[in-house]
Amino acid sequence: MNVLVINGPNLNLLGRRDPAIYGSETLDEIMTDLDKFLTEKGCEAEFFQSNHEGAIIDRIHAAIGTADGIIVNAGAYTHYSYAIRDAIEAVGIPTVEVHLSDIHSREPFRAVSVIEPVCIAQVSALGRQSYFVGAEILLAKLQNND
Ligand code: DQA
């Protein structure tokens, strides 16, 4: 299984960005552990972070024929990027949406995810664990192929 992990805008600042909300770990630290986790599950993982909507869309397109599944934290694009939503839908690759914070108990604009309808699951509020729970859900889906 090949899994693509995408992190969107401002997630490169994890560790210094609002630690009370996002924790004190860096993105690299979390992704290093996620890589180990996915490798232990027999997967090959690729990691991509960008602050640019078009770059994220291009990376989703490039996943056609190479990735079996996608884990995405689209950051603030989650709440309004119909273009990222359409890209996920267009490639047809099973995708799990993850968030560190509880997007449902913060500002009202964060409670809306425009990508949720095209993802197989949304995992939020678990801190770094959201990525790992998201990975479990994705792998279960890919292994059952249902
Ligand atoms: C986030 C939640 C978003 O609302 C926010 O814009 C982010 C991070 C999260 O992981 O909790 O950048 O996706």
The pLDDT tens digits for 12-31 are: 999 999 999 999 999 999 99
Half-sphere exposure of 130 (CA within 13 A, CB side): 23
Region 122-134 average pLDDT: 98
Catalytic residue among 61, 79, 82, 99: 99
The total of other beta-carbon atoms located within 10 Å of residue 54's CB is 11
Is there a catalytic annotation at residue 99? yes
User: Which atom of ligand 1 lies closest to the CA of 106?
Assistant: 4
104 CB less than 6 Å from ligand 1? no
Closest atom of ligand 1 relative to the 98 alpha carbon: 10
Of 144 and 111, more confident? 111
22 an active-site residue? yes
**Enclosing domain of residue 94:** 2-144
Which CATH number fits the domain that encloses residue 31?
A: 3.40.50.9100
pTM passes above 0.85: yes
pLDDT value of position 140: 98
Tally of domains within the chain:
1
